[in-house]
Structures are given as C-alpha cells and as structure tokens.
Amino acid sequence: MAKAFFGGVHPNPMKDATCGKAIEKLEAPDEVVIPMSLHIGAPCTPVVAVGDTVKLGQKIGEATGFVSSPVHASVSGTVVAVEPRPHFNGTDGMAVVIQNDHQDTLSEDVKPVEHPESLTGEQLAEIVKNAGIVGCGGATFPTHVKILGGLGKVDTVIINAAECEPYITSDHRIMLEMPEQLIGGAKLLAQAFGVTVHIGIEDNKMDAVEVLRNEIAKEGASNIVVDVQHTRYPQGAEKQMIQAITGRQVPGGKLPADVGCAVFNVDTTAAIYRAVTTGMPLIRRIVTVTGSGTNEPKNLEVRVGTPLKCVFDACGGVKENTFKILMGGPMMGNAQYNLDAPIGKATNALLAFAGDEEKTVDHPVCIRCGKCVTVCPMHLEPLIMNMYASKNRLEELEAANVFDCIECGSCSYICPGRVHLVHNFRTGKQKINNQRAAAKAAAEAAEKAEAK
C-alpha cells in the first residue's frame, strides 16, 4: 500500500532561529484576557462575575454542548470584567478578564488521579473534558469528543509530531525537554484505546527521535513506536499523516475514525498526561516567537490569555518595519491586527515579518501553469476552484470539492501568479455555509408561517 502522500512542497524550514533554544517560562502578566471560545464548537458560558476571586485552574467558563470545552483561570486573582474583548480570530468575543494577584493560588479542584493505570477510555475522556483539553495543533477540536468517538473503532493511535510548518519549533522543544510528558500521555492513550501508538515525526528532528526512543525504552513502553518520515509539507496534516503511517486514505467528508485512526498533537498528548498526573487543566501553551520582525526569537511557555503584546515584549518587541504578524505558521497561520488579542490554547507560534519579505502583488493573475494541481495533497484543482470562487459560482465551487480543501497553503506557496488561492477558498466556503444557513432559516420561517 502506498504510504507517501501525493503532492506537497518543500518550503525553507526557517527553524534555525529557535530550534536550539530551550523553552523559557514567561511570567504571567498583570491581567489575562481569557476568551470563552478557545475551541471549535459552542462557546462557553462564563460562570464567574466581576469581583469574584478565582484560583489557578478554577473553571471560569462552562461548556455549553457536547462539542464544547470548558475554560479555566490561568492565574489566580480577581475578575475585573466579563465582556467582549478582541479575539485572535479578528472579532470581539466574550471574555473573562482576571487581575493577576501573582500568587498562583491553586484551585482545590486541581488534584491528580489516584490510579491512572486502571483508567478506562471513558474515564480518560471525562478527565480530558473537565481539563478543557482541545487539539493544540491548531484544530482546537475538543479532545474528549475525539476519544469517545474513537473508542471501539480505532485500531491505530497516532501522535502527530511532524511540525511541518516552517518557523515553528514548539513541539520540537517539548519532545526534547519534556519527553516524559509526551510518552506518559501516549501510554495513557494506548491504555484507553487498547492499541499501539505511533509517533509520526519528520527526519529533520532526529535529535527528538533519539530522545523519544530513549524515553520509550526507559518506560518499557513496547506499545509505542516512533515512525520517522521524510520532511515534506504538509506531512503534519491529519489525513496525510494517517496515509504516511498506515497507508489508509481518509475519503472526502469522512473522519480519521472512519478508517480506524485517531490523531493527537504533541502538546495535546502532554496536556493529557498533566491533567491525569497533576489535575492541571489546559492553562498554558508553548509558543515559538520568531520571524524577521522579532528582535529576539524564543520558545516561551505562556499562560492562556496573555496579550500578544506581552509575548512580543518578552522577545525584545517587534522591529519598526514589521508589516505582518501571524498567529501560527506562514502556510496556515492567521494575520493578527490587534496585539491586545490573547494567546489561545492552540497558539503554537507568533511570527512577525519585516523589511522586504512582503511578496504580495497588486494584481495577482493565473497564468494557467497548473503547478497548483501538482502540489495539492487532496487531489483538488485549485485553479478551477479559484475561477469559481472569484466569480461567486458557489454551486460549482462546492461541486469542485472545495470542502475537501485542508487549507494547507501548498497551492498558494507554489503559485507564480501570486493568486490568493487559500484566502479565496476560505471565503468561498464561508459564503456557501452562509447560503446554507440562510436557506435553512427561510425554510423554517416558511414552515412556521404555514403552521399558523
């Protein structure tokens, strides 16, 4: 069975500035702004009010549905506001603002599990749910839902340690500096699913491969294996990782569990370990801060809710001629326009770009070279989808399988015409979703009117 995925690109890794730098703990700021939406799914409802005293690890936002995940205080102190604040998704969203008392007084709810060796899959999912753990690789899908959805269906658990996006080194440093957390989390997942766990890692991180294999040997964890893969973007995309390790292809519209797989990110796995062994919910994140506009690139451990400005300040600030700031990598990251927005549960990188790196053009044009088709790992035809998207031909855009696009950015990267392909696919999907929602609302209104 073919294990290499189709397409992909080889961007310059650009990881040298931070891959050798140990993680530094950033002191928690005087004020944290914790959004009630730090996951895919329904936002949380605040369960604290202005004036309340809160402790580190205390729940401050309650999940509001099955696909939702609670939010916890990342510092101890006093709630000074519960109101909409700038979110890293570009909107204003409900947030709890906590004045930090710098005491880190621990919540009584934060306590380790007594017998982790006897946890069932359902019990692990409950712990993960209460700890607010979501996909830390960027997807932010609630992890307990993934565990529950996979029990009895999954025969292969994969830890996605590819970290294939340029610049980002946070997972790499976690593997080098906290291997016991990653292997400990992998053991818990192996126990929960009753299967072997594969750690998929690119061959540009052989130092981490050695550290992990040593840790596995030390733990005698024969049900955990490290699979080394060629370095190629987007090796770390979920479907591509599954194909690389198992040879199975996830059909369009289907989930990894449909082909017997469940994929977890490195920091997600470490967070599961911490939740079980210490009781600590997901309140911090390892963030790579780098790019030509960053004065002192670093890997930092940052509390969730820390304003982006504080993170850049800890790295000597950004250069004057910085023209772009991204949350995430250069291929899939989101532009940031307000440095008051906070660090989220899945913020793996902050990139600042300065000087003459701006590569956009005023009038991007498709020259029909076909390069985008040759690199698309999802076997799509980006140039055709772009034609439909730019002409608002939404039905044809959907028929061209735009919803199979994983927004990896390979087509935009290779495009000599500098066409904004991924941006056009994102907005195209949004328009189709809006159209569906409007049609549904109209049908419901008509039904109500008829019933009267």
Binding site for ligand SF4 (CB under 6 A): 366-372, 375-378, 380, 382-383, 386, 405-411, 414-417, 419, 421-422, 425
User: 355 or 370: whose CB is closer to ligand SF4?
Assistant: 370
User: 149 or 364: whose CB is closer to ligand SF4?
Assistant: 364
Residues 312 and 352 sit within 8 Å (Cβ to Cβ): yes
User: 287 or 397: whose CB is closer to ligand SF4?
Assistant: 397
Paired residues of 8 in beta bridges: none
Q: Which helix (H) or strand (E) holds 188?
A: helix 179-193
Question: Is-cis flag, bond preceding 234, omega within 30?
Answer: yes
Smallest gap from Cβ 350 to ligand SF4, in A, equals 22
Smallest gap from Cβ 185 to ligand SF4, in A, equals 29
Smallest gap from Cβ 418 to ligand SF4, in A, equals 8
Smallest gap from Cβ 303 to ligand SF4, in A, equals 32
Exposure b/e, 138-147, CB count within 10 A at least 16 = b: bbbbbbbbbb
Smallest gap from Cβ 411 to ligand SF4, in A, equals 3
User: 143 or 160: whose CB is closer to ligand SF4?
Assistant: 160
Q: Which helix (H) or strand (E) holds 286?
A: strand 284-290
Q: What residues contact residue 150 under an 8 Å CB cut-off, 6+ apart?
A: 193, 256, 257, 262
Question: CA quadruple 335, 339, 343, 348: dihedral positive or negative?
Answer: positive
User: 191 or 410: whose CB is closer to ligand SF4?
Assistant: 410
Q: At 78, give phi and psi (nearest 5°).
A: -120, 135
Tell me how far CA of residue 385 lies from CA of 157, 247, 314, 399, 431, in angstroms: 33, 28, 42, 9, 14
Smallest gap from Cβ 335 to ligand SF4, in A, equals 16
User: 142 or 409: whose CB is closer to ligand SF4?
Assistant: 409
Question: CA quadruple 370, 374, 376, 379: dihedral positive or negative?
Answer: positive
CA 375/CA 8 separation, integer angstroms: 5
User: 318 or 389: whose CB is closer to ligand SF4?
Assistant: 389
Smallest gap from Cβ 82 to ligand SF4, in A, equals 38
Residues 241 and 248 sit within 8 Å (Cβ to Cβ): no
